[in-house]
Structures are given as structure tokens and as C-alpha cells.
Structure 1
Amino acid sequence: MSAEELELDELLGAYALDAVSEEERRAVDQYLLISPKARQEVAEHREVATMLAWSGMSAPEGLWDRIAASLDTSIDEAPRPSGRLASVLDGSSGAGAAGAAVGGVSADPVVDLAARRRTSARHRWRSAGSWVAASAAAAVVAVIAVTALTGTETEQPPLAAAVEQARSDRDSQVATLMRADGTVGAEVVIDQDGHGYLLGASLPSLPSDQTYQLWGVIGEQVISLGVLGTNPEIELFSSGGEAVSTLVVTIEPAGGVVSNGNPDGAFAGDVGMIGSV
């Protein structure tokens, strides 16, 4: 593994929490296209974030203080990253569509930008990582403690509960993705913050050298929203808060592609508000 790849691996946790600069985001976006292991790590970080956001449980009194006291970094002292989840792939354009515009990063003629970025990334990841570790530990202990006290178990996995929460909100958006022959392949729910959930249980499993990939039509641009793997069930993605008019799932070579000019055989559907249905 190269030094650049090691540096990008250090950014994955912060990337999943949307705590990276635009320059770092673009670098990680390209890295995710070629590294299935990195994509899996980002997905795991986001699943933890979703679990924390939707657990809906109250910890026993004093539990959080005891957990914080046992950790090297106090939960209260660690900075909180933004709650918005970053998209797996951003800025890819389809055939006939303009590529997504990405703002440039101003250069400093005196400071070594690469060294500063490495130092900044490691410091930020240590801070964000401490917060994630502390929060994840607290969430897991809280679930165990509440289960032990009540003698009950949660009825739904965290992701399924998050989907149901989004579905119950009239400000969320939904789409049913179908082939031209009417075959239903997947359902999608996007909450008002742009957090999306693709339910792909109806998609046929693919061989290991292929993958499903999700695309969103935003204005006149076709943007990649994520590589879904060979057998997606519930997959997280983010629209970045942009208004998505149409969603498309295509079959691509393993690892995904930057752009797609041949959506034949794809599952597609228009996005509509739950409150208007």
C-alpha cells in the first residue's frame, strides 16, 4: 500500500462524517472507485452514524458520564462533526449531461499544502474518530443496558428503523425504480436532510465481477450516488441536499464507473414527495 493510500485510509472516517475539505473529498471519491475495502469501511462508519441517529433509546442515568470517564477523550471535549452524511461518489457526469462543477481550492505559495493537508487530516480524524468511538461505545452499552433492564430486544435493526422513520415523514421523497417492462427492482426513500435509503431486495444478485450503481438526475447533470455491490438490501447514500428528479440503477463492472452513457436495462424511477402521494 502506498503512502498516498495510507493517507486516504486515514480520511475515511472523517469522510463518512462529512468532516473533510473539498480537496480531500475529491481525492477520497477517486480512491473509493478503485478500493472495495475502502467503500466497505465508509459504509460501516455510516451505519454506525445511522444507528446513533435513530436508536431512540434513553441510557440509564449516569451511564454516559461513566463511559466518557473511561475513554481517553471526553465526549464533551471532542468536536462534533456535521450530521450530514457525505455521498460515496460525487461529481460524475453521464452522457449528454454536463459534469458537476467542483469549486477549486486556493493555493498558498509559502506553506506546503500536502504536508498541511496530511497534518490537518490526521488531527481531524483523531478528533472525529474519538467522538465516533465514544459515541459508538455509548450506544452499544446503552442498548445492552436497556435490554437487560427491560428484558426486551429492539424489534428492528437500526437501518430498517431509519427507513421507517423516513417513510413516516411527509417531507420525505420516494421513488420506485422499474425496468421498461414494468419489473420492480428497488424502492428509494430520501429524508428531508438528503439521507437516502435504497431497498434493493428485489434486485437479482450479480456475479462478483459486476456491481449495481446508483445515479441521480439533478437538474441537467447525472451524478453517481454510490456503488451498491452485487446484492444490495438496504444501502445508504446522500443526495447532498440537492433536488433529485430521477434515480437510476445500472449494472457496471466491479468497482463502478465514473460516468455511464448506456443506461439500457437500467431500473429507473421519478422522485416524488410522500405528502403529495
Structure 2
Amino acid sequence: MNRIDLEGQHAIVTGGAQGIGFAIASRLIASGAAVTLWDMDGPLLKKAEAALGAGTRSAVADISRWDEVEAAYAATTADGPPVSIVVNSAGIAGDAAPVDTYDIAMWTKIIAINLTGTFYVNRAVVPDMKARNYGRIVNIASIAGKEGNPNAAAYSASKAGVIGLTKSLGKELAGYDIAVNCITPATAQTRILEQLTPEFIEYMRSRIPRGRFLKVEEAASMVAWLVSKENSFTTASTFDLSGGRATY
């Protein structure tokens, strides 16, 4: 494993209690960063914090609620170093169903967490990054945001929105030493699969030319470079992690 130099950096990783978020947090710590995990699952969050060890803190937050995002950011910065890295990994897949029968409440929940929640976190951290003229932000989108998945319109739409948000914010901040990028992973072997039917899981696997799901460590490797000082030019961009599925 190449060690990216993140010494002296402080990262927030949302959805950091498990899955891709946990793997990213682990990689950032291995690279020298201090990490604060945000997650809405308090007990799981404490287990993750203990597993990651020294240099890790946590804050319980439902990112779909602006008041909780504000409170978590205030707590994170009150007794810790300034936040220079943010990875927005919190998200849900939701139910698989066609649009004409899709549950309205589930649609609203997915958009609230995946898209509005990502906006809230960016909204909270950007002012301080601008004031210090430094920051690195990675938003976790999905290959579904590029290509769409049948029976997953809410998830696909939310992740397409994350890509658009990333490109817009990256251009807004291009005059600062702040990089805003996103990654578009194919399905990873995480607990998010528990929300899907076996048939839908197999459909997702069949679309990946590599013939397997993404390993969370592979996502962490890409993110580690994106949040480093070495990534000093690329911003408002989308990085593919689809195992060959992406067509653009």
C-alpha cells in the first residue's frame, strides 16, 4: 500500500461507521490524518471509533437534518484542529421498484440523505475552508448516477445530483486551493446490499466487466490521493470506480 502523506490533516468522514466510509477512514488514519466519523448509528459509530483507535473521534448526526449537521460540525471543530478534508460517504440504496409504484416516502428519504445531506455537509464545511484557502472534498456518487439503474430511480437520481453538485461546487471554489471531486463506484460488497433483492444484486454484478463487486479498500485508495495536497489541480471532476462498466 502506498502511503499518501496526510500528516497534520483533519478529516470528517460521513457514513464512517461501516462500509466504504469506514475503509476510507482507516486509510486516511494510516496516512497520518486525524479523523472524525459522522454517522446516525450511535452504537455502531462507537464500535468503529474503538476499532480505528487513536486519532479517531466521532459525532452522531443524521445528515438529512441541517440542525444536526450544524451541531456535529460545531462539536467537531470546537475541540479539534480545523477540518481540511471531508468525505461524504453517508447514503442509502432504498427499495428496488419501478417508478410507477415507487413508495413516495422512500423516494423522499433517499433524496434527503444522499443528495440534500451531501449538500448540507458541504454547506457546513466550505466557509471555513474558504477562509483558510485550503480544503479537499470528495463526494461519493455512484455509477448509477451516470447510467441509471432500472427499479432504482430514486437512488440513481440522487447520485446524479451528487455529481452535478460536485461539478458546480468545484467550479465555485476553483479560485481557492480547494479541490472538490466525486467518485462513481460500482456496487461494493457492503451492508447496503442487504437492502436489495438477490435478483437485483446479481443484475448489478452482471453489469461489471471485472465480474466482481468493488472492494472497499480500492475506493479508499483512490480517495486517499484525491484528498491529498498532491491533488492540487484537478477539481469538479468525476473519477470512475466501476470495474469497466462506465461508458463515459
Give me the TM-score of the superposition, normalised by structure 1. 0.25
Relative to total residues, which structure has the larger helix share, 1 or 2? 2
Structure 1 or 2, whichever has the larger Rg, is 1
Relative to total residues, which structure has the larger strand share, 1 or 2? 1
Give me the TM-score of the superposition, normalised by structure 2. 0.26
